Structure 1
């Protein structure tokens, strides 16, 4: 039995006309995912030459929701694209040194593009499901591979631009760039295949967008969060998972506010005795899920005034959890000064549950959920 060759695939559906159109949709999805992913990456940076904005409060919720949804939509489009162009990978390399080198470089860029796309989508889905069968940092690796993949995509488009331009400006049934072996009609027309690809992408969007849009939660069967959780808000990391015990948040609990040589130590009762504010703010996570809630507590700015901290200064935020990559975070000055940024003591009018950060947690507008530190123990002005 001989291995398959390019001539083994005779369907007219495997054509440049279909590949160019599906590839265009895929390129749009990848571009949107790149832009929104860069926004999320920047929002998590400690150093921000241009401060990440605090308004609108739902901005990060929107961009991260779009990021995850476009990633999901890319999966069926990528599968159709790979199915369409697969025979080209079996084509014999051309003769002649120059043609051989050019063909080799083109295939190498395609290999990087395919491998990078598969890695980004597979690891993104795993991250959304909070399943990490690896030891590397998801954020830094995802960031680096995104640039490599986009670079390979740009090279691929540049090499194939004449064919892409011709395919997109001519009828979908045009055969100019068809392979010689592609002569047999498929089970559907080329337009039918494009319709199936578009429908599959739309179905994936509907099945996952409930993470961000509550109206879709009943039909978003593949959404990683159903919107439920303690006090009506989902939880990513429980107190038990973070190593936070009852003794740590009990009567011995203290919150330290530090600036220079000044330190103010506050009990839970001290915090409750200060002026309380209620803000309706979303909490949005990098996995794409989000929820809006009513948070009640003390303005961070009021706490910083207790130690005469000047405005515009960054604040190091420390959690009671013994370890973890987000045990220490930095609250940039514009967030610290925003009147909506709270050390929250209550959620929906009830004291915080332990899994939501009892006795006190940070909540700020337009801020990634991983930086909305729970189980606060210290605020130190830089």
Structure 2
């Protein structure tokens, strides 16, 4: 006697919640996060690498501007990671639909989805690795990340244009296009969206404290604790990494070039009028911390060299090498009274890791441009 051999049912990708309604609901959140990331990322890029025509027009105020925009950039990018994973989960059955191409419009849709997914995954995860300063790739992160952000935005707009009829049909709860969906899916969908929102909230809450002081006690998983570091402030690039030693700054002098060039010893700098400002040190990785800085106004140093009220500045560090060893400072920054050649931090002489004997501190400026170990200041 032969007994029938049981067979497992064929595997299918048809399951509840893998539908347009769920994808649209998650996509609204993800789209908002991507747009915020794009806008704040473009601002960050042009503050770091301004084209010539923009360099003298960048505003130094509000002084907390970069602290806010870069904090938003990293927070929204981190929050977008679980949103992207949830969105891919909701739509992945369609990635295996057969036939793969049914029409010209469908081919355009598939191409836009492929580019959108690839660019989105790369942008978010490479940005996340950047917050940890880990670069497991052979190319320069900044220009590639910036270029792909435009590709991501373009593919997102193309995807929205192609899918707009379906998105519009499922945008609101009472849209006519949702009547055909099973009513039983409603509670499950709400539970899924609640879980996604809770996950996004948890990821954001436990990382955003690196830039939002009020939430610092919840900062469990961010790569930096803004309260940890020499003189109460974190350090990205140490003196050792920059090959600056106590011996190399022992006989330090500041050289200021211009129509009337001159040099100053550290004691002579300290004898000049000193100003104190409270400014945040805000880094591209997302962390920031306000501190009290004191030193000499950069515009006073430029004026003494014959720079005049419209002078720009070029700052050269003592470090042996590095992408930001030489820093260009536009007119608005160079002439702002909050821009200092700082000698003290929180009432103490700068530590070597914080740029002793002198460093730049300016408002609304990325941390990589707050040049440490300044050796030369040039009137531009």
Structure 1 residue runs without a partner (length 5+): none
The CA RMSD measured in Å over matched residues stands at 2.2
**1:342 and 2:346 matched:** no
1:365 CA displacement: 0.7
Quick one: which of 61, 70, 84 aligns to 1:78?
84
1:174 CA displacement: 6.9
**1:360 and 2:366 matched:** no
1:17/1:174 contact within 8 Å kept = no
Residues 141 and 176 of structure 1: CA distance in aligned 2, closer, same or farther (over 3 Å): farther
1:11/1:184 contact within 8 Å kept = no
Distance 2:179 2:145 in 1: 38
Deviations 1:5-52 (A, max 9, x none): 9x7123211110010110011000000111111110111124353412
1:224 CA displacement: 1.5
Residues 184 and 67 of structure 1: CA distance in aligned 2, closer, same or farther (over 3 Å): same
1:306 CA displacement: 1.4
Deviations 1:256-306 (A, max 9, x none): 11114x321111111111111111111100111000000010111111121
Report what 1:30 is aligned to. 34
Distance 2:120 2:270 in 1: 50
Distance 1:263 1:135 in 2: 42
Distance 1:160 1:194 in 2: 21
**Secondary structure of the equivalent of 2:46?**
helix
**Secondary structure of the equivalent of 1:248?**
helix
1:105 CA displacement: 2.4
Report what 1:204 is aligned to. 203
Residues 345 and 10 of structure 1: CA distance in aligned 2, closer, same or farther (over 3 Å): same
Deviations 1:97-126 (A, max 9, x none): xx4433222111101100101101111011
Distance 1:240 1:184 in 2: 64
How high is the TM-score relative to the length of structure 1?
0.92
Residues 244 and 185 of structure 1: CA distance in aligned 2, closer, same or farther (over 3 Å): farther
Structure 2 residue runs without a partner (length 5+): 1-6
**Secondary structure of the equivalent of 2:353?**
helix
Deviations 1:293-343 (A, max 9, x none): 000101111111211112222211100001000000101111111111100
**Secondary structure of the equivalent of 1:49?**
helix
Which stretches of structure 1, 4 residues or longer, exceed 6 Å deviation after superposition? Answer: 183-188
1:377 CA displacement: 0.5
How high is the TM-score relative to the length of structure 2?
0.92
Report what 2:222 is aligned to. 223
Quick one: which of 299, 303, 313 aligns to 2:297?
299
